[in-house]
A and B are shown apart, each in its own frame.
Chain A
């Protein structure tokens, strides 16, 4: 019995000791307690207790404010360790939205690593601070964002017209403008959300007349219609997240939507990016990603070298510089929209979801740079990526002279079935494309891009060639099949047996293209002599076109 008594005694003492240790851990071992103990409020010592922001509608219980005491709603004048600093002034009330809605992380946690989400099994770690504006994407869809050129146009108009003399935007301007002499006007940093009076220009002119402030006469003057449009577009993008807007403008400049969908609009050659900003880093392969295994590093490395990160990827290396990669990473991180309760659904999201408002600006230039430029190049002159058939030059003057607006419009609408060009008309069940008026604007922009080249009028009917198809077949095999494929299926050159091409192109298109060629591409005019082959006669060209037409019946 003595052995049992001893065992009982020593086990009991051990149990008491361990319980004591557990109690100590709970009351003295918690980091948030020591942080709060070391802090002071305006009234004196801080009341040490767990603090949290609870919003059942959003499903959050954010305990970040147990350590970040200065950010807790209702706490002002907190001094103490650096972590207790107050939050920057932001649009949204922390007491309504909590912290994790915008920043990510694990709100329910009370230990640092767990709360920041940098632990195993938490799929949504906190956004790095430099990318915190990506958190806006949780709820918002910024509408009508132009490409970088458009954004720059607006911004430079704003600065050139000296609006900053009175108005403050993102901490610059007004009375703190360099050189002095400014005035206190409304802060325009969030004017894109708040909106402004439609007759602002007339009102400004009146104030200029009536005011005695010298800055009015010095800085404000008549503004042209075009400048006012540029200003309007620029101000519409001032929503308090300027880096995110710039990131989105960068995204709209590289043609990403040609292959990828975002919020239901875009191509389907690549994956839908709408939730790419909330990918779980625990499911990603970081073998070839330098630095910490976080999503932003993975995305950045993916932009540098897609195939190095995703085996079997068809995404070409875009040759981006670091600034572009930084902006694109920011944008993709913002693609994290989730289901929201009605009260928290922002107007811009409702417009995009229910009323079809576009997230990219719908002028021809932006649509082109957001959708077409990835394949056809920012200048429309085509692009060549290893392993993929080259994308054609569509802004060359030779092409634009023989391609009518209807032809180009139909090509965009119907695409090239079986090839890389998707059908871009949004119709029926396909809502991922463009509206007819948007396509019209793109075509107009394309002409502009090609040096304002108009199509030369053609009085011939659409089908007029009557050549010898058999001879055409032989000529085709000898002269064309090397680039266009033995059956016209394409190769170095475009596919000529394509259903949509054959149905929308008229004979003049083919005859002129073969005869004159396209400057700036590999297609030389076959009417002209060349050191490597003999020139073709007009009759031979018509025979080839007759042969091409024979594919139409198939």
Chain B
């Protein structure tokens, strides 16, 4: 009996990506939108690492590590923006944040 192949990991990754996309679309709190974005990035990482195992080269793992760094940077800047918005006493609701100055 063979172990789980790359197709099984890819299906998992697709379902996880769709979950994250659903969260980004449906939630109104920017904090949870950021959390769902992390889920989408991690689904991409899972596919990259599954392909790295499939082809037997380490390049996919390097790519996944780089994605991880970009995700950390994105979380820093995104959370900074959320804190800056909340200091101006604007409602934390992505449907209401429609103007950049104000």
A and B part of one assembly: no
State the A residues within 8 Å of B (CB). none
Q: Which residues of B contact A (CB under 8 A)?
A: none
